[in-house]
């Protein structure tokens, strides 16, 4: 007879009907007391003890966000796979559906608001620019099911013809370096990004520098950012015609904005530059940039440094890729009604933030480690494994910052230095707003070099290609 290996382990979860309510190691971030507190606070605690208590339902909704490729029954099987021997219920799909409806979106929203926030520490790579924490804002779209009660609220995008799925517009405010979520707002695509951006300003403070693209170049919005005490570095549109007030030694200049909008004009600094991007295949692209910033001290914040730091804005794209490609895998949201969609979106964002917090804890055990080296795919996959095996549901004694998820992520770090790359862009969605840009981007991912020449566009900024 061949030798055998026998592995025994103890599994610790909540008792009785609460046993299926866990999220593997992520339960240490979204713990029982926290879930019970938000259920109590939002008035969604069950009036009598059911086979599916509200706490268990909240964890089930979070598990759906982890296992987006699984059905209700398959997700329940994941939650209970590591609990063999316990007397567990096997609820029907209709029971799980009614339980989701009973709990609603409020507890998930409160969970996200509780977990949202900065996680980067001073000295951590990519988190701070000089004395300011860099944060970024941007928007994206999620596809929602095409049902009458949904399309009334989330209509399709209409161009020359109506096509594709209805769209939900999602905006997030992230911490650069860690890509932690600070705040979110979402709703119909009919409202523009600046409308949703105003709902995120409460998360800003005087120690932050906000990076944003030209969609956020609005004097009222920029003034509101300064009212919060935060600074901004925003790309300007060609529609703006700033009057040169005082030229500065680094090639930038001071001006005032807000004519006809603000009671008192706001002093800003303008940095204009000719950008040259050279791809690995030799292709060269030139772009005129105009950046507007509230950082008017050119000696403390040189123009060349601000042009470089503006690139950190693209970390919002990495955040959206993690959510839309890694977690959703390009799928349409599964919920079939408006409250369910709201619940699902907050569950996705809550799980994402829990994973980022786990990554941050692991990174803090290695001072100087750039969290860009931690693979979100590894985090997500390992977290899913700990749910299936019911591993590390409760903290160890003594408590450590790094559990199975962190250890695996640190074992499979990405390269220490990654060359800048331009992602291949091809238009696959018939409703894409980037249709006019077809053929202007490489069809394969390439490395590139970036060079900026600071100048002043005396005749104004040429309009960008219409999207």
pLDDT value at position 419? 59
Cis check for the bond before 356: say yes or no (omega within 30 of 0). Answer: no
pTM score of the predicted model:
0.93
With CA atoms as reference, report the closest residue to 426 among 438, 410, 408: 438
Cα–Cα distance measured from residue 180 to residue 189, given in angstroms and rounded to the nearest whole number: 24
CA dist., res. 204 & res. 211, Å (int): 12
- The Cβ of residue 222 has, within 10 Å, a number of other Cβ atoms equal to 23
Per-residue pLDDT of the chain (467 residues; tens, 9 = 90+): 578 776 667 777 888 889 999 999 999 999 999 999 999 999 999 877 778 999 999 999 999 999 999 999 999 999 999 998 888 889 999 999 999 999 999 999 999 999 999 999 998 999 999 999 999 999 999 999 999 889 889 988 766 556 678 999 999 999 999 999 999 999 999 888 999 999 999 999 999 999 999 999 999 999 999 999 999 999 998 888 899 999 999 999 999 999 999 999 999 999 999 988 888 888 888 888 999 999 999 999 999 999 999 988 989 999 999 999 999 999 999 999 999 999 999 999 999 999 999 999 999 999 989 999 999 999 999 999 999 999 999 887 766 778 999 999 999 999 886 656 666 555 555 555 555 555 566 667 777 788 888 988 877 777 765 44
How far is the C-alpha of 71 from the C-alpha of 237, rounded, in Å? Answer: 45
> In angstroms, rounded to a whole number, what is the distance separating the alpha carbons of residues 197 and 232?
13
> Is 134 strand, coil or helix?
strand
Longest dimension (CA), the chain: 88
State both tokens at 388: 């299936």
Please state the length of the chain: 467
Distance CA 61, CA 409 (A): 25
Contact 165, 122 (CB under 8 A): no
Q: Is residue 434 exposed (0-12), middle (13-18) or buried (19+ Cβ within 10 Å)?
A: middle
Q: What is the pLDDT of residue 286?
A: 86
pLDDT, position 164? 79
DSSP character at residue 1: -
Give me the residues paired with residue 290 across strands: 272
Buried b (16+ CB within 10 A) or exposed e, 91-105: beeeebeebbeebbb
CA quadruple 170, 171, 176, 181: dihedral positive or negative? negative
Give the pLDDT score at 1.
Answer: 56
Torsion of CA 315, 316, 320, 323, to 10 degrees: 70
Token pair recorded at residue 12: 């610790």
Distant-in-sequence, close-in-space partners of 61: CB < 8 Å, separation ≥ 6: 100, 103, 108, 343, 344, 347
Please check whether residue 408 is in contact with residue 383, taking contact to mean a CB–CB distance below 8 angstroms: no
Rounded-to-integer distance, Cα 121 and Cα 117, Å: 12
């Amino acid at each position: 007879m061949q030798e055998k290996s026998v592995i025994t382990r103890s599994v610790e979860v909540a008792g009785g009907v609460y046993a299926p309510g866990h999220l593997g190691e992520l339960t240490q971030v979204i713990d029982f007391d926290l879930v019970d507190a938000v259920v109590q606070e939002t008035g969604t605690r069950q009036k009598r003890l059911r086979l599916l208590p509200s706490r268990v339902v909240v964890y089930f909704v979070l598990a759906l966000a982890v296992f987006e490729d699984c059905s209700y029954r398959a997700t329940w099987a994941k939650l209970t796979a590591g609990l063999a021997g316990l007397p567990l219920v096997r609820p029907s799909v209709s029971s799980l559906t009614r339980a989701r409806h009973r709990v609603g979106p409020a507890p998930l929203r409160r969970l996200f608001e509780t977990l949202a926030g900065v996680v980067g520490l001073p000295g951590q790579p990519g988190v701070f620019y000089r004395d300011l924490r860099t944060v970024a804002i941007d928007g994206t779209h999620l596809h929602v099911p095409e049902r009458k009660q949904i399309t009334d609220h989330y209509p399709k995008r209409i161009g020359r013809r109506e096509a594709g799925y209805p769209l939900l517009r999602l905006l997030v405010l992230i911490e650069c370096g860690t890509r932690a979520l600070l705040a979110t707002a979402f709703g119909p695509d009919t409202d523009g990004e600046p409308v949703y951006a105003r709902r995120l300003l409460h998360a800003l403070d005087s120690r932050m520098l906000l990076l944003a693209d030209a969609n956020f170049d609005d004097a009222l919005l920029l003034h509101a950012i300064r009212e919060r005490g935060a600074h901004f570095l925003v790309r300007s549109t060609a529609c703006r015609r700033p009057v040169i007030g005082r030229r500065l030694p680094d090639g930038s200049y001071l001006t005032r904005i807000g004519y006809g909008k603000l009671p008192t004009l706001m002093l800003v600094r303008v940095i204009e530059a000719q950008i040259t991007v050279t791809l690995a295949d030799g292709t060269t692209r030139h772009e005129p940039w105009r950046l507007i910033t509230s950082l008017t001290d050119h000696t403390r914040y040189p123009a060349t440094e601000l042009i470089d730091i503006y690139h950190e804005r693209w970390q919002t794209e990495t955040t959206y890729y993690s959510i839309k490609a890694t977690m959703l895998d390009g799928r349409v949201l599964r919920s079939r009604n408006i409250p369910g969609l709201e619940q699902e979106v907050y569950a996705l964002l809550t799980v994402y933030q829990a994973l980022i917090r786990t990554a941050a804890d692991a990174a803090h055990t290695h001072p100087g480690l750039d969290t860009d080296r931690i693979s979100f795919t590894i985090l997500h996959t390992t977290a899913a494994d700990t749910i299936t095996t019911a591993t590390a549901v409760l903290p160890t004694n003594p408590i450590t910052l790094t559990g199975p998820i962190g250890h695996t992520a640190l074992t499979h770090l990405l390269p220490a230095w990654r060359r800048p790359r331009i992602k291949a862009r091809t238009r696959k969605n018939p409703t894409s707003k980037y249709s006019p840009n077809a053929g202007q981007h490489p069809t394969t991912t390439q490395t590139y070099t970036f060079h900026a020449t600071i100048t002043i566009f005396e005749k104004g900024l040429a309009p960008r290609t219409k999207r």
